[in-house]
């Protein structure tokens, strides 16, 4: 859990400090007050570009020097997998300080520090798992495959931290291959075959690893969901599909498709084209064909099941960021959501008013006005 969060020149927050307790952390305030900005700051305590996937330079407060900082004190809390209790603030645990941000004049260079020492962003996964659900994700099941693939990669990263390395190296090799093919095509000459072969071998090695990790995540999550009893959130059926089929030898398939890929200007086969197929398990209907309300409930149930799976696998409850989730649920589902989340780690919730959260017995409450955060109650 985060026991302290400090924002410096981040979005609309010039200098904000929150000291939340365990369990629920509720942020209320008018639209534009900066509630989602706080969640975005927390999401930067994990590898990647955060819940908005925005360029780093856009996160610096307008009128500031161009840099920003997000710092947090992390404390271990008790986790009740049965959900009957709550995290205990009395559990003795060491504090870990995490920080990230950019310096003025270097908007594209993200800095990460752990206990004051420079670190790679991937090292954050050793201390904290952050999962989120935002209104922008409501259309996940009808968006292009790339959005679902990115969603699956975040789920996979929470269970297999090495997934980030394989994904990064696969994509770097693919970009280099595409560039080499394009330069040869535009120059009217044959590409460097040895260099292409080396890049294709890298793609095959890292592609096989990331594909295996994705499939392991889909299988584990599918088993966990199938074992759930009937509840207020529909169960999701999951599979990983590839429009090109499965290549037994990706390196050989890439070598055979060089001419086609050069003409297309991109690589047309590989795990970067995979799609996460989701269905309403009980209705046996593709998620994309479900109603808007059913799609949101499916997505929420999927995120909750994944959070439980992460906690069971790692022994560490993830920090959940649920942006504007309560306002779109009926009272029964809202109460069921809060009941399920009780005792399952630190959960950050946002809303324009407090009424939708009345079913929560205890929480750290914050009210936000533009650039200002009132203390917890």
pLDDT digits over 233-285, tens only? 899 999 999 876 666 789 999 999 999 999 999 999 999 999 999 999 989 99
Both tokens assigned to 165: 């390395």
Q: Is the pLDDT reported for residue 309 higher than 80?
A: yes
Q: Is the pLDDT reported for residue 173 higher than 80?
A: yes
Taking the chain, what is the end-to-end CA distance rounded to the nearest angstrom?
18
CA atoms of 274 and 203, how far apart (whole Å): 15
> Which segments of the chain belong to CATH 1.20.1050.90?
141-314
Secondary structure letter of residue 357 according to DSSP: G
> Is residue 46 a contact partner of residue 310, using CB atoms and an 8 Å limit?
no
Identify any residues that bridge with 96 across adjacent strands, giving them in sequence order: 74
Q: Is the pLDDT reported for residue 330 higher than 50?
A: yes
Q: Is the pLDDT reported for residue 307 higher than 70?
A: yes
CA distances from 204 to 224, 254, 326 (A): 30, 9, 43
Q: Is the pLDDT reported for residue 86 higher than 80?
A: no
- pLDDT score recorded for residue 217: 97
Tell me if residue 351 falls in helix, strand or coil: strand
> Which segments of the chain belong to CATH 3.40.50.300?
1-129+316-377
User: Within 13 Å of residue 318, how many CA atoms lie on the same side as its CB?
Assistant: 28
What percentage of the chain carries pLDDT values higher than 70?
93
CA atoms of 68 and 104, how far apart (whole Å): 8
- pLDDT score recorded for residue 230: 76
CATH level 3 topology of 141-314: Glutathione S-transferase Yfyf (Class Pi); Chain A, domain 2 (1.20.1050)
- pLDDT score recorded for residue 85: 39
Structural domain 1-129+316-377, CATH architecture: 3-Layer(aba) Sandwich (3.40)
- pLDDT score recorded for residue 300: 92
Q: Is the pLDDT reported for residue 216 higher than 60?
A: yes
Residue 377 binned pLDDT confidence (cut-offs 50, 70, 90): low
Question: For residue 324, is it left (φ>0), alpha (ψ between -120 and 50) or beta?
Answer: left
| Average pLDDT over all residues of the chain | 90
Output 101-104 pairs: Cβ under 8 A, ≥24 positions apart: 101/8, 101/10, 101/67, 101/68, 101/69, 101/70, 102/56, 102/57, 102/59, 102/60, 102/66, 102/67, 102/68, 103/67, 104/65, 104/66, 104/67
pLDDT 10s digits, 197-211: 999 999 999 999 999
Q: What is the mean pLDDT of residues 286-312?
A: 93
- pLDDT score recorded for residue 108: 87
Q: Is the pLDDT reported for residue 82 higher than 80?
A: no
CA atoms of 166 and 312, how far apart (whole Å): 24
- pLDDT score recorded for residue 245: 62
Least confident of 19-23, 152-156, 368-372: 368-372
Secondary structure letter of residue 317 according to DSSP: P
């Amino acid at each position: 859990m985060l026991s302290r969060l400090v924002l410096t020149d981040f979005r609309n927050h010039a200098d904000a400090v929150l000291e939340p307790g365990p369990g629920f952390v509720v942020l209320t305030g008018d639209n534009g007050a900066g509630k989602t900005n706080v969640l975005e700051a927390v999401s930067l305590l994990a590898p990647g570009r955060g819940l908005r996937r925005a360029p780093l330079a856009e996160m610096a407060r307008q009128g500031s020097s161009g840099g920003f900082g997000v710092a947090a004190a992390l404390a271990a809390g008790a986790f009740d997998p049965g959900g009957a209790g709550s995290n205990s603030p009395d559990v003795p645990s060491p504090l870990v300080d995490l920080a990230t941000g950019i310096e003025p004049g270097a908007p594209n260079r993200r800095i990460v520090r752990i206990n004051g020492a420079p670190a790679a962003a991937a090292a954050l996964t050793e201390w904290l798992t952050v999962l989120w659900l935002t209104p922008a994700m409501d259309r996940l099941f009808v968006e292009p495959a790339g959005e679902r693939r990115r969603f699956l990669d975040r789920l996979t990263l929470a269970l297999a931290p090495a997934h980030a390395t394989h994904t990064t190296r696969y994509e770097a090799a693919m970009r280099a291959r595409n560039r080499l093919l394009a330069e040869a095509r535009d120059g009217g000459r044959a590409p460097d075959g040895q260099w292409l072969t080396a890049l294709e071998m890298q793609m095959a090695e890292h592609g096989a690893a990331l594909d295996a990790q994705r499939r392991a995540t889909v299988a584990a999550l599918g088993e966990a969901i199938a074992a759930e009893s009937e509840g207020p959130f529909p169960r999701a059926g999951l599979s990983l599909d590839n429009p090109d089929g499965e290549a037994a030898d990706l390196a050989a398939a890439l070598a055979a498709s060089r001419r086609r890929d050069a003409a297309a200007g991109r690589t047309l086969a590989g795990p970067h084209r995979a799609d996460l197929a989701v269905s309403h398990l009980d209705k046996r209907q593709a998620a994309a064909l479900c109603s808007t309300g059913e799609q949101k409930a499916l997505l929420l149930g999927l995120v909750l099941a994944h959070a439980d799976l992460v906690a069971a696998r790692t022994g560490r409850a993830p920090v959940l960021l649920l942006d504007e989730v309560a306002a779109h649920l009926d009272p029964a589902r809202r109460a069921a959501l809060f009941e399920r989340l009780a005792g399952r780690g630190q959960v950050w919730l946002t809303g324009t008013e407090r009424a939708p959260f009345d079913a929560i017995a205890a929480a750290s409450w914050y009210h936000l006005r533009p650039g200002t955060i009132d203390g917890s109650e």
